[in-house]
Amino acid sequence: MSSNQFFEKKGPFPLKEILNVIGYNGELSIKKDFKIHSFESLDRAHENDLTFLNSSKYQNLSLKTNAAACITSPNLSKFLPEKCIKLNVKNVLFAVTQASKMFYPNADIDLPDTNLLKYDEILKLYPNVKFGKNILIGKNVKIGESSVIGNNSIIESNVKIGNNCIIGSSVVIKNSIIFNNVHIQDGAKIGVKGFGFIPIKNKNMRTPHVGKVILEDGVEIGANSTIDRGSLTDTVIGQNTFLDNQVHVAHNVKIGKNCMIAGQVGFAGSTILGDNVVIGGQAGVSGHLKIGSNVKIGGGSGVINDIPDNHQVMGYPAVPLKEFIKQRKK
């Protein structure tokens, strides 16, 4: 079972118990008392784990998964290894939500951290850190030397912050690991639950988010930006990447190194960016896309397709820059 310092994890569970919860009624050739240890993404799953596949976009990962069983649909089963048990269901995301809640029953909502240190305890634990006023810090937080935490900021339990970091005022950090020399400006919210809901008839069902946020060395996060933690995997901002003010990064997004993201850009979930990407203000990037390295996206663009390395695009939908200029001249 993989460890998770931010969420209480249950299990292992007999496979038959999981089958009942997800509504699987098919036949299996193995004993249903076989125990599943964890619920993991395709690439992280081990031989006693459960995973899921809901899109052929991820067949490169699904064909190599080591998972014991996979929640999926009949048309996607062919993208799984022969040894993997195919749990074909009508509604994959509903089944995934139910299974995830078994292992992480408290991860579908964000309860405030009430397990906080007193101010004199904070000063004693972190003698080489400079604090503003009205700071709230949870238990088991690690803060590196020469870091600064601004007024009215909240650092929740088990968060790790490296050396020489500057955390502005009114910042909230939870479910996150922050490397060295990171600068987070005022009002940013890091590690909050992502926007994950499954519409079931007239009621929306929350999906658990048990991943974390990782900010690598030298990252800068602009004022009032929001970075959601991952659902099963992590949300990652790569080394020396700068985000301007009011940027939103959804769950599972991975941004490469040395990227420059201007104000009010929004990333939908599970999109992956390469290195040295530049995006102009108020651009929107749809989910589950791959944006190559050295890509430039003009301000106000709407990106709905993958973009290869070294391309420049603009417009809605975003097209190659030369094509956009031709369209404007007509």
The catalytic residue positions are 251
Residues 45/25, Cβ–Cβ less than 8 Å: no
Q: Which helix (H) or strand (E) is 92 found in, with range?
A: helix 92-103
Q: Facing residues of 160 across strands? A: 142, 177
- Chain-centroid distance of CA 320 in Å reads 29
Rounded to whole angstroms, how far apart are CA atoms 263 and 236?
A: 19
Are 59 and 39 contacting, i.e. CB atoms less than 8 angstroms apart? no
d(CA 149, CA 166): 6
- Cβ atoms of 94 and 208 within 8 Å: the answer is no
Please list, residue by residue across 235-260, b when 16 or more beta carbons sit within 10 angstroms of its beta carbon and e when fewer do. bbbbbbbbbbbbbbbbbbbbbbbbbb
3-state helix, strand, coil in the chain (%, to 5): 15, 30, 55
| DSSP label of 314 | E
Q: In sequence order, which residues have a C-beta less than 8 Å from that of residue 111 and are 6 or more positions away?
A: none
CA of residue 327 relative to chain centroid, distance: 37
CA atoms within 13 A on the CB side of 269: 16
The helix/strand/coil state of 155 is: strand
Helix, strand or coil, per DSSP, at residue 273: strand
Environment class of residue 57 by beta-carbon count within 10 Å: exposed (0-12), middle (13-18) or buried (19+)? middle
Exposed, middle or buried by CB within 10 Å (0-12, 13-18, 19+), for 107? buried
